[in-house]
Structure 1
Amino acid sequence: MGSIYKRGNKLWLRFKGPDGKWTQSPSGFESGQEKQAREALRQLEDRIAANVEFGEPEKGPVTVARYAQRWLEQRQGLVAGWKTDESRLRHHVLPHLGEMALEDVRPRHLVDLFRKLRVQGTVAPKTLHNIYGVLKALFRDAHLADLVTTSPCILTEHQLGENVDKDPAWRATAVYTRDELEALIADPRIPPDRQVLYALQGIAALRHGEAAGLRWQHYDSSTPVLGRLVIATSYDKGHTKTKRTRYMPVHPTLAAILAEWKLKGWPEIMGRTPTPEDLVVPMPRPTNRGPRVEHGRMRTDHHSYKRLVKDLEVLGLRHRRGHDLRRTMISLARTDGARKDILELCTHTPRKSGSAIDLYTTFPWEALCAEVAKLKVQRHERSQLVRLPLAASAEKENPGSPDGARGLATSLATVSRKAESFPEDTVWRRRESNPQQGGSKTPSRSRCYRLTP
């Protein structure tokens, strides 16, 4: 324990440095300010102890890079996005600040860093704010660990810029059409396991982590009206993004897909029948020698994203994300008449804040099922998707239109008997957009498609 003493009218601090030797330093306070001087001595000794714990006597002052390594190790198992945090620090922060002593970083250093990132133009505005958020959390925890006296993260939008999309027109196009969703869950060119994954995202509105972490024990097909998915975890974290469990009614089309997958598709890729503890969509066997998740283990977002890019190319569709399937389900369901307030209970869980009447309202299970069932999505037998050229005038009127105005046409396959791959499909109906030539009202097999009951 150090001490305070006077030199004239000034107060000085005596303490042991990181090397264990006694040293003296002016406190910056005068006689009569002993209380403030004692607090400064306490903070100084706490900071020295923290630096000693990080190996300062042997390795020198704690740098941003050294602390970031320990900080990320501590976040593993506690913070789901620690890998993303590590990537943002490694690519954007450590190349500029990594060798600096942690306590030497000042706000002006961060101003210079984010000015460079903005001038380069390679980082989207939202990503820029995410990088700053990680850096702010790092210095917050360094302050809590007594490694710095104050955090330098005091930047505002004046230094960071607005938190907006890099392309203002992008979000309006981040959705699939009904035909595109139905192609992703039924086209024979898409592997069956990925059809199931896309169905969970596009019909049940699951986030990727929720679909990847879903196990057969979370699916109850015996509940009244519609089956039920218990959305209780994202990946294997033990909780969802909102840390609240929700219940999602299983749309009839999704129920048919899951039934067929459990009976035939899942055993084919795993070599056995599934148990309640098994993942619904585990990783299939590898098709190359590159590094990848072990067969049967949980899918990663990176793996699914790469496969989605390939699947969209195969179908001749423009690029979008897997998360856009979730937005597609919500958009199509509301277009088909689903009530927003009830559908939200299935897709997002109740809000913690809201009007009192919302907090005191509990809808029965049948009401949730009724709204989800309004979604009009089916599995069609399809031939290859054909992309038609657009007239120049149409392209000008509908640039990047999310409603399929880019000229995507779907040719529906015609068969004379019930397909073995869709045993649940039992009803034939005429496609109204392809009326009979000559005015005949008699349905023709060549202009029919299957509906899932």
Structure 2
Amino acid sequence: MWVEKNGPTYRIRDIVDGKKVTLEKGWPNKTSAKKRLTTLKADQLRGDFIDPRAGKLTVAAWVEQWWPGHETGLKPTSRQSEGSRVRMHVVPLLGHLALDEVDNQTIQAWIIKLMTGLPDLDRPGKWVRRPLSAKTTRSCHGLLHSLMKAAVQARKIRTNPCGDTKLPKLVPREMRFLTEPEAGRLHAAVPEHWRPLVLLLVSTGLRWGEAVGLQLKNLDVLGGRLTVVRAMHEMADGSLIFGTPKTARGRRTVTFTPKVSAALTPLVVDKDRDDLVFTTPTGKPVRSRNFRRGWLEWTAAAGFGGLRIHDLRHTQAAWLISGNVPLSAISQRLGHSSIAVTDGIYGHLLPQVDAGILRAVADALEHIDPDALAAEMDEEAVGEVEPKAAEDVGER
């Protein structure tokens, strides 16, 4: 590397791949340029050297390089949601900036834009870009954090500018719990065809996708148990995919009562082991959007307007807690990634927490990313919902 005059200013040059290239330019005098040169050479000797030109790559151009490798490690549902965030919220708002132009102040301004949205001035009440919820905003920031972390690892920039961002707080959603008599009233309001599904959900705490994706080969009616090995998801294009459970501990065996066994027995007659346990009256897979239409009617008829399907999972947890089942066993039954998640969601329902549980929670928290823990707890509280087009796609 060396310093040379470039018109009225000075620049720092080097030979890269046999060609002379400009690393930096615009230094007002030779002394300041040489000081900078000394710093660059010292970084080079320490192995900390970052080519100043690398940071001039735009965010959009870096996304094109980074995304193909990043998406290979994602589940189809995550690939869909994160891809939407990249296309709708990262590239349009930050894509024109160079990587080294993205600082904490820029990111804070971006967060505000996501939260406030962009009204359509030509159409009152409409949006060019709708405001995002706190959860979706945090998810967008998490994606940008990964993007910039990869840029640091690729030596495009020196530090990740996302480290000190102030993010909107997640507001816990109110959970509803049914008593056993109330669950019986709901069961009576549900049409006969759907009663086994509703009964299984409230009796096992399965996630929606785990229940509707259950195959006969993973169901032991006589033994009163099932094995969760996959979950069904609906993609934005309407296609159905089957993936692994949400967490590593989501692959589990769940037991159920003889009453549930009796309800499920008719569903296994004249079916192959690879068939779905639950189908529509016409034999098709159960789609949550279609099921919810009936769900709203049945819950209203039973006097439980506003009850979510995911509240059946919360109900199962509440029943177990009221029965003094250890928190560790509840966590395993629900398929949470750790006991810390279970405690964070349902700990307030415990009449008392013994020292053993406190130690288990403390040990679990030591190995958990706080942001990842908060995200999983929020997903559990909200429930598994379908992608909302209004949240990720602006109205035009």
Establish whether residue 257 from structure 1 lines up as the match of residue 260 from structure 2.
no
Alignment counterpart, residue 22 of structure 2, candidates 24, 27, 31: 24
Q: Give the aligned partner of residue 181 of structure 1.
A: 183
Alignment counterpart, residue 319 of structure 2, candidates 306, 324, 332: 332
> Which letter does structure 2 place at the counterpart of 1:139?
M
Alignment counterpart, residue 81 of structure 2, candidates 84, 87, 99: 84
Alignment counterpart, residue 138 of structure 1, candidates 134, 140, 147: 147
Change (3 A) 1:88 1:251: farther
**Whole-angstrom distance in 2 between the partners of 1:118 and 1:312:** 33
Change (3 A) 1:198 1:137: farther
Determine what percentage of the aligned residue pairs are the same residue. 21
1:326, distance to aligned residue in structure 2 (A): 0.5
SS at 1:317's partner residue? coil
**Whole-angstrom distance in 1 between the partners of 2:295 and 2:148:** 37
Q: Give the aligned partner of residue 159 of structure 2.
A: 150
- Note if contact 1:126-1:163 (Cα within 8 Å) is conserved in structure 2: yes
Paired residues in the alignment total 311
1:334, distance to aligned residue in structure 2 (A): 3.2
1:306, distance to aligned residue in structure 2 (A): 5.3
User: Which one has a bigger Cα radius of gyration?
Assistant: 1
SS at 2:231's partner residue? coil
Structure 1, gaps ≥5 residues long: 52-60, 264-272, 286-294, 360-453
Alignment counterpart, residue 41 of structure 2, candidates 27, 34, 38: 34
**Whole-angstrom distance in 2 between the partners of 1:155 and 1:32:** 26
- Note if contact 1:175-1:324 (Cα within 8 Å) is conserved in structure 2: yes
Query: Which has the larger helix fraction?
Result: 2
SS at 2:171's partner residue? coil
SS at 2:248's partner residue? coil
TM (norm. structure 2) is 0.62
Alignment counterpart, residue 109 of structure 2, candidates 101, 104, 112: 112
**Whole-angstrom distance in 1 between the partners of 2:281 and 2:68:** 31
- Note if contact 2:249-2:336 (Cα within 8 Å) is conserved in structure 1: no
Change (3 A) 1:102 1:176: farther
**Whole-angstrom distance in 2 between the partners of 1:200 and 1:104:** 53
Q: Deviations 1:301-320 (Å, cap 9, x if unpaired)?
A: 55555553454345553113
1:177, distance to aligned residue in structure 2 (A): 4.1
Q: Which moved more, 1:84-93 or 1:228-237?
A: 84-93
TM (norm. structure 1) is 0.55
1:92, distance to aligned residue in structure 2 (A): 4.3
Structure 2, gaps ≥5 residues long: 25-32, 118-129, 233-241, 341-354, 361-396
1:4-403 equivalences in 2 (<5 Å): 4-5=1-2, 12-16=12-16, 22-26=20-24, 29-31=36-38, 34-37=41-44, 43-44=50-51, 47=54, 62-64=58-60, 67=63, 71=67, 74-75=70-71, 78-79=74-75, 80-118=77-115, 122-156=131-165, 159-165=166-172, 170-171=173-174, 173-188=175-190, 190=191, 192=193, 194-223=194-223, 227-235=224-232, 236-243=242-249, 245-263=251-269, 273-282=270-279, 285=282, 296-297=284-285, 299=286, 304-305=291-292, 308-313=295-300, 315-336=302-323, 338-348=325-335, 351=338
